[in-house]
Amino acid sequence: MKPSPAQDAVLRRAKRVDRFMALLITLGGLGIISAVMGMLLFIGKEAFPLFRGARSEARPAFMAPGALLLDESGKAAAALSPSRGLELLRLPDGAAVRKVEGGPALPWTAVQPFGPRGGALVADGEGRLHGLQVKWSKPAGDPDPAHWDLEAAWSAPLPNPGPGARVLDFRMAEGGGLEGGLVLKAVAATPEGLVRAEAGPGQAEPTWQPFPSPGTITAAAWSQDGGQLSLGTAEGRLRTLDAATGGLLAETTFPEPVTALGWVLGGNALLVGGQRGSLAAYQLLRTGEQPVLQELHRFQPLDGPVRGFRHSLRDKRFLTWGDRDLAVDHLTTERRLLHAWAEGTVHGALSPRGDLLTATDAVGRTRAWSLDAPHPEVSLGALTGKVHYEGYDKPAYVWQSSGGTDDFEPKFSLVPLVFGTLKGTLYAMLFALPLAILGALYTSQFATPRLRNAIKPTVEIMAALPSVVLGFLAGLVMAPLFEKLAMEVLVFPAALLALAALAFPVWTRLPQRFRSLWGSGREVLWAGPLLGAAALLSLGAAPAFERAFLGGDYCHWLLSAQGVTFDQRNSLVVGFAMGFAVIPIIFTLSEDALSSVPKSLTSASLACGASPWQTAWRVVLPTASPGIFSAVMVGLGRAIGETMIVLMATGNTPVLDWSPFNGMRTLSANIAVEIPEAPHHGTLYRVLFLAAFLLFLLTFLLNTAAELVRQRLRRKYESF
């Protein structure tokens, strides 16, 4: 029968719809799946730029008359030269925009270049030294450097230090008191030895005072507060003096003659450069009785004597230049961000953000580089290895992403977080595994069917408990309770065993009929009262136990005998609360595996005379062990990624300590705590994405392993 045209149209339409829906669902399904898989890619993509190397680019060279101070925008610079004084240059072409008047009459005999904060020193025609402090003055919102200006403040002069003298370092500070003004301190090497002088408002006529220190002093650096003076000698000695008294604070040797000293942002790390190009950072460590100068980091050497340092005002990177080349390194990671050849550099300059640098030679030819290194404080080594941070006496694993000050050294070691994750998981599993697996074994093998039908949904409901509720209970109820009743809780298993040992002989003497009616399959109903009795017993026994063995107060005993401090929110509490979250998962999956063991196996075992327990332990459990393994994997995945419980039930301190009586900080809780404060695409943001990537990968692998095992098991059982 041939369909009528109307029927034909309906059929055609149906076919069209069918094809369209097939296409739609296929596209939609594929799209959703790839989107979901794209999650991993996206998270990885956000973390990846951490490991991208620094990029640098040479910019056109220009002529500049002398030492430069680069502006934050990279569009202008202040130039200071003996012949032309102070000028404002436009970058990148170096054209002079305006001359800044004031200061001693030109020409000057010498200049000491700008420090990172715009302080410089000028020697006038008579060799007197004038301190200069430069500040940018920009009309608000005006991006054109032609409209910008410089504010120059001059200090009272210091007298001429004499023929043959060389100024090693100077320091400028806003003077206190009513007069204000600038206080200038300088230290110079003369043929007669080291001298220093200080000029400031309200002070007497400054003079150069001898400041004796042994050896040929070749470099000096004032500390940030001016309280100490560090010196380097041609003999390879490095020492730090008390600037007020001249007393020696600490001294150490450097493998080569010291040619340059400098600071990294914050003034904690002293940079030292040597005659043969060696580069290192030292710190004055005051943890012991005697302060010591300790090597913090060693960097790749330069090719020739090191001449100078400049640091950025944003992070711990710094510029070093020598006779033949220059480099930008990062203090924490020792990463070399840039290396370039520049013959005969006299003055180097680094912009406040550290993204632009210049090198000027004796005739004023200035070469410039831009540097793009958004995350220099992170390297694989810093994330996974020990790093020697400022203020620490030895390399350590530390997570501390932010501090109170701008010159804080961020510490991004993932090790304490991974450790915390493992620790929390371990304690949770210690608590959850025995309970969940034994419970599943009992439910699947011994419980009566009615009991079983009541138990399984209860446990499934338990799986749905929101973790924020568990965390709240753990942090605000269990933790204080546990602090009070820690001994009772620890004595409880012993009390339970003792009671069980007492109860058993009684039970076995009860009539057989009663036992088979109320015992087999219903043991769990009796276990409840037994647990209650054990709880009461431990309540009574624990104080006596504590008095007898621990001197009456376990916290005190822990601290004095074991050196362990007791935190209220500790790992045991976390383990307990996380156990709550993990038990139902392991229980349900194990129970499934155990009850799908073929009946033929158990029947055979029982028929051969094995007791029910023997059958369960020797036949059912080994057969179902892959399934239980997969259950444990899934539970492990849950414990590793659990956030709210850990966040609420621990103090979130990133410590490296297995002790059950203190807390931890896990990868997941760390993300929750820190990511709301992390600026978009900043280093912290990306490091946290890396942590999320790790978590994703770890749990995904665990779950996949579990799933594969489960599938294999299912196929195996199909053959029975």
CB nearer other proteins, residue 302 or residue 645: 645
CA–CA separation, 486 and 550 (whole Å): 13
CB of 322 to other proteins, least distance (A): 42
CB of 688 to other proteins, least distance (A): 7
Each residue of 632-659: b (16+ CB within 10 Å) or e?
Answer: bbbbbbbbbbbbbbbbbbbebebbebeb
Q: Which residues contact 700 (CB under 8 A, 6 or more apart)?
A: 40
Choose the binding region for other proteins from 72-80, 277-285, 382-390, 432-440 (rule: CB under 8 A).
Answer: 432-440
Residue 638 is inside which H or E element, if any? helix 621-641
CB nearer other proteins, residue 359 or residue 644: 644
End-to-end CA distance of the chain: 51
Q: Which residues pair with 639 in a beta bridge?
A: none
In the shown chain, the binding pattern of residues 127 to 166 toward other proteins, with x for contact by CB under 8 A and - for none, equals ----------------------------------------
CB nearer other proteins, residue 102 or residue 434: 434
CB of 437 to other proteins, least distance (A): 8
CB nearer other proteins, residue 51 or residue 700: 700
Given a contact cutoff of 8 angstroms between Cβ atoms, the answer to whether 489 and 537 are in contact is no
In the shown chain, the binding pattern of residues 461 to 480 toward other proteins, with x for contact by CB under 8 A and - for none, equals xx-xxxxxx-xxx-xxx---
638 binds other proteins, rule: CB under 8 A: yes
Q: How far is CA 173 from CA 155, 183, 185, 314, 404, in A?
A: 10, 5, 9, 20, 23
Given a contact cutoff of 8 angstroms between Cβ atoms, the answer to whether 296 and 283 are in contact is yes
613 binds other proteins, rule: CB under 8 A: yes
665 binds other proteins, rule: CB under 8 A: no
CB nearer other proteins, residue 356 or residue 646: 646
Of the candidates 469, 489, 487, which has an alpha carbon nearest to the alpha carbon of residue 477?
469
What are 524's two structure tokens? 């769990």
Binder of other proteins out of 341, 518, 526, 720 (CB under 8 A)? 526
Residues 320-339 that bind other proteins (CB under 8 A): none
Of the candidates 144, 146, 154, 150, which has an alpha carbon nearest to the alpha carbon of residue 87?
150
699 binds other proteins, rule: CB under 8 A: yes
Choose the binding region for other proteins from 176-184, 231-239, 291-299, 614-622 (rule: CB under 8 A).
Answer: 614-622
Binder of other proteins out of 173, 398, 436, 624 (CB under 8 A)? 436
CA–CA separation, 659 and 628 (whole Å): 29
Choose the binding region for other proteins from 72-80, 103-111, 330-338, 439-447 (rule: CB under 8 A).
Answer: 439-447
Size of the site for other proteins (CB under 8 A): 101
Tell me the three state secondary structure of residue 546: helix
CA–CA separation, 130 and 124 (whole Å): 8
Choose the binding region for other proteins from 87-95, 110-118, 214-222, 608-616 (rule: CB under 8 A).
Answer: 608-616
Q: What are phi and psi of 19, to 5 degrees?
A: -65, -40
CA–CA separation, 599 and 591 (whole Å): 15
28 binds other proteins, rule: CB under 8 A: yes
CB nearer other proteins, residue 16 or residue 99: 16
Size of the chain in residues: 720
CB of 623 to other proteins, least distance (A): 17
502 binds other proteins, rule: CB under 8 A: no
Each residue of 48-79: b (16+ CB within 10 Å) or e?
Answer: eebeeebebeebebbebbbbbbbbebbbbbbb
CB of 473 to other proteins, least distance (A): 7
Choose the binding region for other proteins from 17-25, 49-57, 127-135, 386-394 (rule: CB under 8 A).
Answer: 17-25
In the shown chain, the binding pattern of residues 45 to 64 toward other proteins, with x for contact by CB under 8 A and - for none, equals -x------------------
In the shown chain, the binding pattern of residues 668 to 687 toward other proteins, with x for contact by CB under 8 A and - for none, equals x--xx--xx---x-------
Binder of other proteins out of 313, 426, 530, 541 (CB under 8 A)? 530
611 binds other proteins, rule: CB under 8 A: yes
Burial-class residue 17 by CB neighbours within 10 Å (0-12, 13-18, 19+). Answer: exposed
Tell me the three state secondary structure of residue 258: strand
248 binds other proteins, rule: CB under 8 A: no
Binder of other proteins out of 8, 9, 17, 300 (CB under 8 A)? 17
CB of 162 to other proteins, least distance (A): 58
CB nearer other proteins, residue 257 or residue 641: 641
> What is the DSSP-derived secondary structure letter of residue 160?
P
* Pairing between β-strand 129-137 and β-strand 149-154 as defined by DSSP bridges: antiparallel
Q: Residue 415 is which amino acid?
A: V
What are 573's two structure tokens? 């509490």
434 binds other proteins, rule: CB under 8 A: yes
CB nearer other proteins, residue 86 or residue 594: 594
Residues 445-464 that bind other proteins (CB under 8 A): 446-447, 455, 457-462, 464
CB nearer other proteins, residue 234 or residue 451: 451
CB of 679 to other proteins, least distance (A): 11
CB nearer other proteins, residue 560 or residue 611: 611
Burial-class residue 224 by CB neighbours within 10 Å (0-12, 13-18, 19+). Answer: middle
634 binds other proteins, rule: CB under 8 A: yes
Q: Cβ of 235: how many Cβ atoms within 10 Å?
A: 14
CA–CA separation, 351 and 15 (whole Å): 69
Binder of other proteins out of 287, 300, 384, 704 (CB under 8 A)? 704
643 binds other proteins, rule: CB under 8 A: yes
439 binds other proteins, rule: CB under 8 A: yes
CB nearer other proteins, residue 265 or residue 649: 649
Choose the binding region for other proteins from 42-50, 81-89, 103-111, 310-318 (rule: CB under 8 A).
Answer: 42-50
Q: What are phi and psi of 243, to 5 degrees?
A: -65, -25
DSSP helix, strand, coil percent of the chain (3-state; round to 5):
40, 25, 30
Q: Specify the residue for token string 């097939």.
A: 22
What are 664's two structure tokens? 């931890």
